[in-house]
A and B are shown apart, each in its own frame.
Chain A
């Protein structure tokens, strides 16, 4: 059985079982099991940020690789892009691990989560996986990285800023090829739109169930993301059109930016 076909149940939701990890890692199943710090840029918090990011990049590598395994009949040019993405994500893991060690950290120092892998591999079409992993998670990471560069720079850590700069440049390419291929695939088969929509809904429901507080307010992760802002410039580089960017801004409660962008 393919690893992507294995299942686990978390808080009543069926998800793809975790990929292989070394015994040193403690795998969390929800946000509440991750380590958080009062001072978000203390020395330990900085290591935790790098450690968490490193594992997320490992997940991105595994998702791209699994797409190559599960969709052998995908167009060759798209498979080439996925292979390139796997290589890029590998470099990101290595770069973050190198920086983590330079700051005195180690593998397994903090809990990790495999949420992206668990959700994305529940999709049975390549278009839906690209919509979830590349167009949603990685595009979200573009927003985060855009803001995180400033945060690391504010504490004088230019070495980490440089790592993040390179990762961001690569992620733009991953989002861009996904946007282009999703459009192409949907034009060829309109039924894929339903698959993509269904996958996006599944992600939203799972996200709400596993990370939101019980009062229905936005989850901490979603709130932090919104607080950090939308990386409009890089979303344009990644082939999001103006209508899509405006919709993302509206969803993030930034309608005033939509108006301002419109005026600009």
Chain B
């Protein structure tokens, strides 16, 4: 991939948008999800997403972008995120976060690492490695919750599979500027 500096800031700005989206989606679902244990899980992970957004936003500043530079993804991905955020049932919401978004974002972050340089871009690597470590813990906590609530919640695996397929079909998600001019997100 071989990203130039401006493109790195655009990637990290897009990741920041996605982490804020994750934080806000979890926050929206906490009061509207009935199951107490699920509220607790989501409530704890709001703080994880906020810390990820914070670290990414500080790193964008170091890459000559504004502090907390945030870039909404390209339209197909943006629309998919809107679709996922509209899910209303508890098993569906759990699947959206832990079976679809976290694995998908893990792959997207890995793609960034593959296109960057672990020495010259080490601060970004450290931020992303921290995020990926958190994602692994968040998914373990979700697994434990599902075991605890196995008699209460019924999951439709085919639905998660369909969402994963839609996500994987979208290739590029990061808007690109040109020359030294950073991209501006198309969506609020």
A107 within 8 A of B: yes
Contact of B46 among A20, A58, A86 (CB under 8 A): A86
> B44 to A3, Cβ gap below 8 A?
no
> A87 to B47, Cβ gap below 8 A?
yes
Contact of B43 among A20, A80, A90, A97 (CB under 8 A): A90
List B contacts of A62 (CB < 8 A). Answer: 30-31, 39
Chain B window 95-107, contacts with chain A (Cβ cutoff 8 Å), 1 for yes, 0 for no: 0000000000000
List A contacts of B31 (CB < 8 A). Answer: 3-4, 19-20, 62, 65-66, 117
Chain B window 1-24, contacts with chain A (Cβ cutoff 8 Å), 1 for yes, 0 for no: 000000000000000000000011
A153 within 8 A of B: no
List A contacts of B50 (CB < 8 A). Answer: 79-80, 83-84
Q: How far is the CB of B151 from chain A (nearest CB, A)?
A: 13
A264 within 8 A of B: no
What are 8 A-B pairs with beta-carbon distances under 8 A? A3-B31, A19-B32, A23-B34, A66-B30, A79-B50, A80-B51, A90-B44, A93-B40
> B39 to A84, Cβ gap below 8 A?
no
In the complex, A93→B30 CA distance in Å? 13
> Chain A residue with minimal CB distance to B67?
A76
Interface SS of A by simple majority: helix
B54 within 8 A of A: yes
A21 within 8 A of B: yes
Name B128-146 residues within 8 Å CB distance of A: none
> B40 to A66, Cβ gap below 8 A?
no
> Chain A residue with minimal CB distance to B188?
A72
Question: Are A65 and B54 also in contact (CB < 8 A) when A93-B36, A97-B36 are?
Answer: no
Pairs of residues from A and B, 7 with the lowest C-beta to C-beta distance, nearest first: A90-B43, A87-B47, A83-B50, A65-B27, A19-B31, A65-B30, A68-B27
List B contacts of A97 (CB < 8 A). Answer: 36
| 10 new A-B contacts at CB < 8 Å, known A65-B27, A83-B23, A90-B41 | A61-B43, A62-B39, A66-B27, A66-B30, A72-B24, A86-B30, A86-B43, A86-B46, A86-B47, A87-B48
In the complex, A86→B30 CA distance in Å? 10
B165 within 8 A of A: no
A138 within 8 A of B: no
Chain B window 42-68, contacts with chain A (Cβ cutoff 8 Å), 1 for yes, 0 for no: 111011111100100100000000001
Q: How far is the CB of B59 from chain A (nearest CB, A)?
A: 14
Chain A window 86-101, contacts with chain B (Cβ cutoff 8 Å), 1 for yes, 0 for no: 1101110110010000
State the interface size on chain B (CB cutoff 8 A): 27
In the complex, A52→B49 CA distance in Å? 29
B94 within 8 A of A: no
- Chain A residues within 8 Å of B, Cβ to Cβ: 3-4, 19-23, 58, 61-62, 65-66, 68-69, 72, 76, 79-80, 83-84, 86-87, 89-91, 93-94, 97, 107, 117
Q: How far is the CB of A60 from chain B (nearest CB, A)?
A: 10
Q: How far is the CB of A263 from chain B (nearest CB, A)?
A: 43
> Chain B residue with minimal CB distance to A117?
B31
> B46 to A65, Cβ gap below 8 A?
yes
List B contacts of A93 (CB < 8 A). Answer: 36, 39-40, 43
List A contacts of B44 (CB < 8 A). Answer: 87, 90-91
List A contacts of B54 (CB < 8 A). Answer: 76, 80
> A90 to B23, Cβ gap below 8 A?
no
In the complex, A61→B31 CA distance in Å? 8
> A83 to B36, Cβ gap below 8 A?
no
B26 within 8 A of A: yes
> A20 to B34, Cβ gap below 8 A?
yes
List B contacts of A91 (CB < 8 A). Answer: 40, 44
List B contacts of A80 (CB < 8 A). Answer: 50-51, 54
